[in-house]
A and B are shown apart, each in its own frame.
Chain A
Amino acid sequence: EVQLVESGGDLVQPGGSLRLSCAASGFTFSSYVMSWVRQAPGKGLEWVSSISGRGGSTYYADSVKGRFTISRDNSRDTQYLQMNSLRVEDTAIYYCAKGDAYNSGFFVSWGQGTLVTVSS
């Protein structure tokens, strides 16, 4: 059974930093594109970032480019999201999501999410 468990969410001041983690199990982690998708309180879903199976290719939404960095450690079956220069508008639940076997672009499995609150 696929499991994705996020951690690292917290209350942080504007301009601060945070690192999210997503521990995966139940599948061959290195074979899949992994992503982060966020949901602001009471709002819809927004794709944030994705990383290829071996970590050589990374992709970012314009809203976070230059501030967030996605990475993965395939030896630990874990992906990360380093979030710098945080803004109030980054406040959201951040979900870790697994792609399909063909990297089509939809999200087959999701974690339960971790809440990031950016506020002074």
Chain B
Amino acid sequence: EIVMMQSPATLSVSPGERGILSCRASQSVSGNVAWYQQKPGQAPRLLIYDASTRAPGIPARFSGSGSGTEFTLTISSLQSEDFALYFCQQYNNWPETFGGGTKVEIK
């Protein structure tokens, strides 16, 4: 089973600043990575799939990059509604596995 490791566990950022979240796979997953946002008491929401494709309705300030084992989610200018928990997921190999999450909090 592929292990997805996210860093940092907590990211403290001021509104308007850029946030960079990392996700590392224990072996190559090609470009088959998705990112999700989860707010307290809510279901996850798909942000990015295929490492860099934004899901419909997702603002352009969210961007994804990477391939192989190293992936990044960048939030270019953090808005108040972006402070949440973020998970990466690989779907290159069965079973699909998720990272442990990065909490983005207000600095």
Contacts and interface: CB of A to CB of B under 8 A. Distances in A.
A47 B95 contact: yes
A59 B91 contact: no
Contacts of A44: 87, 98-101
B32 interface: yes
> Which secondary structure dominates where chain B touches chain A?
loop
Interface residues of B, number: 23
Nearest to B41: A112
Contacts of A95: 43-44
Interface of B: 32, 34, 36, 42-46, 49-50, 55, 87, 89, 91-92, 94-101
16 contacts: A44-B98, A44-B101, A45-B87, A45-B98, A47-B98, A61-B95, A95-B44, A104-B32, A104-B49, A104-B91, A105-B96, A106-B89, A108-B55, A110-B45, A111-B43, A113-B43
Interface of A: 44-47, 59, 61-62, 95, 100, 104-113
